[in-house]
Amino acid sequence: MPSAPVRDLLSVIHRLTPRDEQLLMWLHHHQLLTGNQILRALFGSQRAAQLRLATLRNLGFVTRVARYLGGPAARVGWTLGLNGARYTHAVLGLAPPRPAVLAHRNAAIAASPRLSHQIGVNEFFIRLHTYARHHAGHELNQWWSEQQAAAGFPDVHPDAYGQWTADEHRVGFFLEFETGSQHPPALIARLDDYRSAAEAGTRRPILIWVPTAGHEQAVHQTLAPHVGDLLVATGLHTDEPAEARLLPIGSPPGRRLRLADLPPLSAAEPH
């Protein structure tokens, strides 16, 4: 049976809640979120999340993607439907999306060999957002995608950029998400870009998020001769980002920091 045609945005936009609007903007910038990520970040129960996503899907705001990425079952994710793309484009002042272009975008997301990497990057920030929901005085102030970070910081190419506040202490950081497949020359080249940007006035801590303690040790050995005066710290995928004990490269093993211990943004820096 063919699916029902998507109704015009103006006839359904009144059905969006502020939570829906936040989800749609996330999907615009960060491509895809798993159902579990959406549940933890925005909902109080699995049933509430499932029912709302089903409603948004029926209204054309989101679409479902399933792909096998290893493990016992396919990973189920969500990205923008046609009305979701119409909404986000209208908010951002972009030209209305063409259905064929959106279909191509979603197919490219689903088929991307970097999909696991993208889900991992998004997981880091979803955990921060979720932590802030349950801990007063904490806030994820900015979550920029790779594309947004490249526009805001043209001299570097992080996987993402974030700003985090803990008890009025606000930090900004570049995120490099490691899957364990990055070769040492590529890591060193990215560090060289950060050094050049710092010399030009763009200086932020660099957080390298790695899968295992063994990989963390290898990253330290590779990058220690190249860090110079940059602040580069590592953390583990399994850690809670807000509470992780980050290890600065070039520091004694016992000198671990929390995210909120990174140098604060100055009042002169853009927030």
Per-residue pLDDT tens digits for 176-186: 999 877 777 88
268 pLDDT tier (thresholds 50, 70, 90): very low
Is residue 246 pLDDT above 70, yes or no?
Answer: yes
Name which residue leads in pLDDT, 202 or 50.
Answer: 50
209 pLDDT tier (thresholds 50, 70, 90): very high
Name which residue leads in pLDDT, 267 or 104.
Answer: 104
* pLDDT tens, residue by residue, 39-87: 999 999 999 999 999 999 999 999 999 888 776 666 789 999 999 999 9
pLDDT at 181: 75
270 pLDDT tier (thresholds 50, 70, 90): low
User: How far is CA 263 from each of CA 18, 98, 123, 164, 232, rounded to the nearest angstrom?
Assistant: 33, 44, 24, 11, 12
Neighbouring C-beta atoms of residue 45, cutoff 10 Å: 9
pLDDT at 186: 85
How far apart are alpha carbons 171 and 261 in whole angstroms?
A: 8
pLDDT at 6: 73
Is residue 1 pLDDT above 50, yes or no?
Answer: no
Q: Residues of 251-262 as b/e, b for ≥16 C-beta within 10 angstroms?
A: beeeebbebbbb
The SS3 call for residue 138 is strand
How far apart are alpha carbons 140 and 121 in whole angstroms?
A: 15
Sheet holding 75-80, edge to edge: 33-34, 75-80, 62-67
Is residue 266 pLDDT above 80, yes or no?
Answer: no
* pLDDT tens, residue by residue, 9-43: 999 999 999 999 999 999 999 999 999 999 999 99
pLDDT at 73: 64
* pLDDT tens, residue by residue, 85-143: 999 999 999 999 999 999 999 999 999 999 999 999 999 999 999 999 999 999 999 99
pLDDT at 251: 78
The H-or-E segment that residue 234 falls in is strand 232-236
Average pLDDT over residues 165-170: 94
Place of tokens 């940007």: 197
pTM score, whole prediction:
0.93
pLDDT at 253: 66
